[in-house]
């Protein structure tokens, strides 16, 4: 026992073969040290986090990177820009100038098929919601502005969802052009509801 302490030689039987290369050249009372580095992948991740921190702080604190508030505000501005402005403004002018345009009608029809047909039926002839192909309207007079109002705001207590915040302006335009093209087609379906408003 005491012999081992006085003569702290490397004890070959305690060292694995693949550790021999790692053995450092010192020996404290029989305690030897291996130079056993962390795995490469671990080091890459570790030093990577340090590099990331420097870049991150540099960009967001000193390099003029946007704050969370600025990011939120620019996101909100983008969403706001996608919304139809209002029933009286740009949207209705765009609808007016696209009336009867077959490509726009086709776009509107695709949007209608995805969002409206479940309640107003595939041809607009009415199912849960009223027939949209007659001249009778429960809400408004069937003008583009009045149709937009009911589509955008919905009819909460009758089950018509509000679409104003859901449908981007461009899609809303083609949807309205499509709805106006349905008006007066008189497709057989739900009987007319509301008040008749025939355009002069």
Interaction site with ligand HEC (CB under 6 A): 115-116, 118-120, 128-130, 132, 137-139, 147, 150-151, 155, 158-161, 163, 175, 179, 193-194
Tokens standing for residue 18: 């693949």
Least distance (Å) between residue 113 CB and ligand HEC: 10
**Which CB, 43 or 118, lies closer to ligand HEC?**
118
Sign of the alpha-carbon dihedral angle for 196, 127, 188, 133: positive
**Which CB, 63 or 161, lies closer to ligand HEC?**
161
Q: How crowded is residue 86: how many other Cβ atoms within 10 Å of its Cβ?
A: 14
**Which CB, 30 or 145, lies closer to ligand HEC?**
145
Question: Please, what's the b/e burial string for 47-84 (b: 16 or more CB within 10 A of its CB; e: otherwise)?
Answer: eeeeeeeeeeeeeeeeeeeeeeeeeeeeeeeeeeeebb
Least distance (Å) between residue 102 CB and ligand HEC: 19
**Which CB, 30 or 154, lies closer to ligand HEC?**
154
Least distance (Å) between residue 157 CB and ligand HEC: 8
Least distance (Å) between residue 140 CB and ligand HEC: 6
123 Cβ contact list (under 8 Å, min separation 6): 133, 187, 189
């Amino acid at each position: 026992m005491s012999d081992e302490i006085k003569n702290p030689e490397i004890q070959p039987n305690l060292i694995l073969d693949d550790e021999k290369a790692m053995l450092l050249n010192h020996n404290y009372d029989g305690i030897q040290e291996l130079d056993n580095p962390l795995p490469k992948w671990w080091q890459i991740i570790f030093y990577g986090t340090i590099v990331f921190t420097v870049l991150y702080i540099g960009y967001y604190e000193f390099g003029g990177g946007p704050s969370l508030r600025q990011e939120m505000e620019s996101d909100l501005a983008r969403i706001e820009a996608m919304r139809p402005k209002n029933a009286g403004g740009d949207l209705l002018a765009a609808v007016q100038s696209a009336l009867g345009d077959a490509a726009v009608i086709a776009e509107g029809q695709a949007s209608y098929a995805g969002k409206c047909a479940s309640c107003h039926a595939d041809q607009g002839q009415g199912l849960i919601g009223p027939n949209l192909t007659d001249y009778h309207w429960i809400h408004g007079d069937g003008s583009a502005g009045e149709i937009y109002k009911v589509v955008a705001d919905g009819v909460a207590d009758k089950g018509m969802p509000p679409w104003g915040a859901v449908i981007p302006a461009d899609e809303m335009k083609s949807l309205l052009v499509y709805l106006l093209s349905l008006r007066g087609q008189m497709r057989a379906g739900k009987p007319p509801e509301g008040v008749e408003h025939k355009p002069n």
